[in-house]
Amino acid sequence: MEPYRCTKRCRGIEISGIRKLFEAAGPWSINLGLGQPDFDTPEHIKQAAIAAIREGKTGYTPNTGIPELREAISAKFARENGLAYAPDQIIVTAGASEALHIIMHALVEEGDRVLFQDPGFVSYASLATLAGGCPVGVPLDGKFHINVEAAKELMDGARIFVLNSPANPTGAVEPEDSIRAIVEYANDAGVTVVSDEVYEHFIYGAHHTSAARFGEDVITVNATSKTYAMTGWRIGYLAGPKEYTDQCLKVHQYCQACATSISQYAALAAYTGNQGCVEEMRTEYQARRDLLYSGLKGLGIDFPLPEGAFYIFSPMSPALLERVLAAGVVIVPGTAFGCNAPDYARFSYAASRQVLQQAVDRIGSVMEE
């Protein structure tokens, strides 16, 4: 018998290509590879965590999360998203990543198809595979919006449609009409929509629409990670029909017990405190997007202006990408995000304007070779 045997499910997925690139980067590199805010977590949020430590709030919490935080998230859903989720329909998780993981484990049977935008966030396909499901990419149009008719064709017999708007890696914000059409069609066809809204606050001109406004069979996933520059605190959550959250809770209970107690108090301060910090970050991201977009356009790279998240997904031939990487600008090839965009690359503009300008200058110096 072979030693060190692992499951086919696990062997069937790869370590994230983004991590590999990041680790290969030299000290002189400009790293626009990671989807991580470069802002510090706002001070009032940090202070709440420090107070929690001092007050000894360091034990296990209820599996679902501390009641005050679930109440605050419920109020946030009502205030910002027009959604009526009761606190007992909410589970606080270790980031949106864990929320997505436990949803897949609670809902996906062996061989079930899980749909998501392609190009799309790297985790969806791997999480679906780990849960025994079969990942299927949904094609996008020229502006990286979901091709609704193509999506409908793929929906019959599928189990989950993961809808991500604003989207990683494209920065696309789905129009409300498309979201409504997708949710209505999916729910009629018995497909659960999992709406990943982690970039909801980073939109420049367009507006955010929560999928759960248009159907009952929807689970909403969100996190403090991007909104409040809290990626390392590991707080996310899911909210949905109690029939689902009751099952998701079992998976969460056995793999995580509860999200970090200290981080939960920090998240409580984030949701109940002044929201000015979010607007400040949004304004700065918009200025950075504009700088990077016009810089790339000035080099002759032409593409539609992305409306959200903190990514630019630009056309880039494999030959140019190689030169850009060799010039020390770390960006992520489109192949990391699925099958449909091999001639693109993702820039994260969660970096200062000065760094973004340097990146544009370095790319300019290798354009003509």
Ligand X SMILES: Cc1ncc(COP(=O)(O)O)c(C=O)c1O
The nearest distance, CB 247 to ligand X, in angstroms, is 20
Of 348, 215, 221, 252, the residue nearest 292 (C-alpha): 348
- The size of the chain, in residues, is 369
The structure tokens 């993961």 sit at 162
Give me the least distance between CB of 259 and ligand X, in Å please: 11
In the bound complex, what is the minimum distance in angstroms from residue 326's beta carbon to ligand X? 26
Nearer to ligand X, 41 or 225 (CB): 225
Of 121 and 214, CB closest to ligand X: 121
Residue of minimal CB distance from ligand X?
Answer: 95
CB of 212 to ligand X, least distance (A): 16
- Closest to ligand X by CB, 33 vs 133, is 33
Tokens 């499910």 — which residue?
9
- In the bound state with ligand X, the residue whose beta carbon lies nearer, of 236 and 240, is 236
Instruction: Pick between residue 198 and residue 281 the one whose CB is nearest to ligand X.
Output: 198
Nearer to ligand X, 121 or 303 (CB): 121
Instruction: Provide the sign of the torsion angle of the four alpha carbons 24, 302, 117, 193, taken in this order.
Output: positive
Residues that bind ligand X (CB under 6 A): 35, 95-97, 121, 164, 168, 196, 198, 223, 225, 231, 236
Q: How far is the CB of 98 from ligand X (least distance, A)?
A: 7
Contact 267/66 with Cβ under 8 angstroms? Answer: no
Minimum CB separation of residue 298 from ligand X in Å reads 28
